[in-house]
Chains A and B, each alone.
Chain A
Amino acid sequence: MSEKSYRDAIRDAMMEEMDRDPKVLIMGEDIGVYEGTFRITAGMLKKYGPKRVIDTPIAEAGMAGTAVGMAMLGLRPIVEMMTMNFAIVAADQILNHAAKVRYFSGGQVDVPMVIRGPQGVGVQLSAQHSQSFESFYAHFPGIHVVAPATPADAKGMLKTAIRGKDPVIFLESAALYGMKGEVPDDPDFTVPFGKSRIAREGKDVTIVSYSRMLQLSLAVADKLSKDEGVECEVIDLRTLRPLDMDPVYASVEKTHRAVVVQEQWKPFGAAAEIAASITEACFDDLDAPVYRVTGEDVPMPYARNLELLAVPHEEHILRGIRKVMYVAE
């Protein structure tokens, strides 16, 4: 184990896989000479050369479509989207091609490609650059959707994504790039998809989250344990598709109450899917309606004060916990 940032964990995963398999390559805007807007690809052009670290024009649909073709012919392309917001331009390539080729070919053709990049709220990136796409992509069969919350998961899950045979939407949280954590050094360390993780054990209330909101949920859980003796069980979903709900159900059967935390908008969001699944599976175990903590239902404001008001903070999670526990605020 060694301590790594989330950013370095992602770079390590890519470089280890490029060392391991000559078919792995990366393309994207400003990833080569400029070394990446978020410095994820620092040093990679120098090490692997312009055939495997490809600076592309500003043309996301072209990048994604090229990658689909490369993957169909046996390469393992990684596409870095400068932010996942820009991948909307490539939605047809991703959803109508990458996600469909295996099905259309009757399983004859795999599409082993990864589309990765940051998403979510940053600092004053405004409405077009602050969005979250997990529920958008996870709606479609045919692709995996991954949202790691720790450096170790970022590395282990990116390796699983690169080695797999299906297209993967790998959602990074820009706000977590600097976060440090213990990461296994083993070059074959991988984290399987579809395995939720109990990030913190507790008996009083279940909090379900992923990515950056998982870290926020853990902070609230620690605080509640210290200040009020309330023990939250915090579950990290890790992948939205496949979605592993069994640990969530087991937890709700124990705590009888659940709060789901997501950064994105409430309507039709990931939390809605999770809350509905809990209600279907654990109906007779629930002592309170499942509560959703979400961002405000507005395009992300540019003004810093309004931006802060538009995303969930600790007090929103606390409010949700108190609500499902029937504790007055």
Chain B
Amino acid sequence: MSEVIMPKAGDAMTEGKVVRWYKQPGDAVKRGEPVAEIETDKVNLDLEAEADGTLGAHQAKEGDMVPVGNVLVKILAPGEKEAEKEEAKAEAPKAEPKAESPKEEPQKEEAKADEPQQRRSTDKKESVKHTTGEYHEAIEQRGPRRDRTAPEPAEPASGEPGDRKRSSPLARRMAREMGVNLDQVQGSGPRGRVIAADIKNAQTSDAKPEAPRPQVAAVHYEPRGTTTIPLTAMRRTIAKRLAESTGPIPHFYLTADYDVTNLVSMRQQMVEMTGSKVSLNDFLIRGIALALAQHPNINASWGDEAITQHGDIHIGVAVATADGLITPVIRNADQKSVLEIATEVRALAEKAKNRKLKPDEYQHSTFTISNLGAWGIEEFTAIINPPNAAILAIGAAEARPVADANRQLVVRDRMKVTMSCDHRVIDGATGAEFLKTLRQFVEQPLRLVTGF
């Protein structure tokens, strides 16, 4: 027998969602054949069978979130049967659960360890009356115990009759003391266990005192329903990472206005000459990479003990997808030609849109750019993508009237960029020096060829 488990597809991944099952219980599968598609906070992946055999019972439903390392399905060797108890459970989940429980016991060592209230507390501090009352009630309400390997959702199934809310002893005590209803709290621990942090969060969100309302004349307003958009794993990660960024990182911003007339015409020539779809952004990536090579203090990261200047120049390019934002990385961008960069950006952006990026394609950038030029944004500020020390927000290249060297009004192609800097790493003048170097690459684009 082999098992298909929820893989860890990235450092931050703790759980993944089952998007769809390609194979049903009883289907024959071959080694290497995809069995299920899962969604992580970054990508969708197909999970493959590691051996030939017959698929056992699904241990999660489509749409379920499953912790990393948990078994999704077993692949049975020819002639092998899934353990009897699981079959019984899978086929007839409601049939005589009481009779079944004793023989399940030995299988549930791990579950047992996690369930202290199964046994009577010998707590020195707890009033006996109080605990025993709750204890018996809990036992009676609980009904049959759930088997971790049974094909039921891994998520907390609150509200299911006969089930109980998993919670840590501390969380229960805090809920009691703070008057929080445990059943209303979403557990963030393993198998939906409510832990102390969940009670704290629940309390702070519940406990807003109601302010007295001023009396106003009754006006009829058309009621409009609210829409709740469930957080996807990706949206959660975006929120977490960006909050981590603006919180601890002291940002400051430097804006420069570049003359890109020459660059625009160079790009036009290259498109005509090669027939490839090179964008202004691809030129900028090379320019930024070459400028970073001259300014290692920008291509850097803050650490509690030291600032790291990265030798390699890996440029993250923010790409919008239907689900949100991801930054595929152009590695060693200073050593690639504009055409190479163009090809790579297009391939990675395509993968990003289909959620097929692999972790090594979107992790470990040393600098990030975000270009909203295509949306006609003139200028904006971006939030640093940790552990980068800076991000460059690139606006639209537009024809604008400007004064030339002779103070005559002329129309030129102009483009504004704003660099958000981590002030712990970069000072105003160092950032300005970098933007000055970048100006040379952008305004005299022949330098993109010479490389200096």
Contacts and interface: CB of A to CB of B under 8 A. Distances in A.
Contacts of B123: 280-284
A279 to B, nearest CB: 6
B188 interface: yes
Contacts of A328: 12-14, 68
B170 A286 contact: yes
A95 B125 CA distance: 36
Contacts of A289: 113-114, 116
B118 to A, nearest CB: 12
A16 interface: no
Nearest to A279: B116
A289 B126 CA distance: 19
Interface stretch (B140-148, B153-161, B189-197, B401-409): B189-197
B29 to A, nearest CB: 30
A285 B125 CA distance: 10
A325 to B, nearest CB: 10
Given A226-B304, A256-B196, A328-B12, A284 B173 contact: yes
A269 B168 CA distance: 25
Contacts of A282: 123
Interface in A209-235: 226-227
A280 B122 contact: yes
Nearest to A285: B170
Contact of B169 (A226, A227, A285): A285
Interface string A266-296: 0000000000000111111111110000000
Interface residues of B, number: 27
B168 A288 contact: yes
A286 B168 contact: yes
Contacts of B172: 284
Contacts of B173: 284-285
B14 A256 contact: no
A284 B116 CA distance: 10
Interface string B107-148: 000000110100001111110000000000000000000000
Interface in A279-329: 279-289, 326, 328
A240 B248 CA distance: 45
B171 interface: yes
A287 B168 contact: yes
A287 B198 CA distance: 11
Interface in B289-323: 304-305
A281 B169 CA distance: 12
B126 A284 contact: yes
A99 to B, nearest CB: 28
Given A256-B170, A283-B169, A288 B195 contact: yes
A289 B124 CA distance: 18
Contacts of B114: 289
B63 to A, nearest CB: 21
Interface in A239-284: 256, 279-284
B122 A286 contact: no
B168 A283 contact: no
B364 to A, nearest CB: 18
A284 B126 CA distance: 8
A149 to B, nearest CB: 28
A288 B113 contact: no
A227 B305 CA distance: 9
A165 to B, nearest CB: 32
Contacts of A326: 188-190, 195, 197
Contacts of A227: 304
A227 B306 CA distance: 12
A326 B196 CA distance: 11
Nearest to B14: A328
A287 B188 CA distance: 12
Interface string B171-199: 11100000000000000111000011100
Interface in B79-125: 113-114, 116, 121-125
A25 to B, nearest CB: 45
B323 to A, nearest CB: 21
Nearest to B188: A326
Contacts of B122: 280, 283
Given A289-B113, A326-B188, A284 B169 contact: yes
Contacts of A287: 168-171, 195-196
B170 A284 contact: yes
Contacts of B304: 226-227
Nearest to A281: B124
Nearest to A227: B304
Contacts of B116: 279, 283, 286, 289
Contacts of B12: 328
Contacts of B195: 287-288, 326
B121 A288 contact: no
A283 B121 contact: yes
A289 B171 CA distance: 12
A134 B438 CA distance: 67
Contacts of A283: 116, 121-123, 126, 169
Most buried by B among A279, A284, A288: A284
Nearest to A327: B14
Nearest to A229: B304
Contacts of A281: 123-124
A285 B169 CA distance: 6
Nearest to B69: A329
Nearest to A228: B304
Contacts of A284: 121, 123, 125-126, 169-170, 172-173
Given A227-B304, A284-B173, A287-B169, 5 more contacts: A283-B126, A286-B169, A287-B195, A328-B12, A328-B68
Q: Which 3 A-B pairs have the closest CB atoms?
A: A328-B14, A287-B170, A284-B173
Interface of B: 12-14, 68, 113-114, 116, 121-126, 168-173, 188-190, 195-197, 304-305
23 contacts: A256-B196, A280-B123, A280-B124, A281-B124, A282-B123, A283-B121, A283-B122, A284-B123, A284-B172, A284-B173, A285-B169, A285-B170, A286-B169, A286-B170, A287-B171, A287-B196, A288-B168, A288-B189, A326-B188, A326-B195, A326-B197, A328-B14, A328-B68
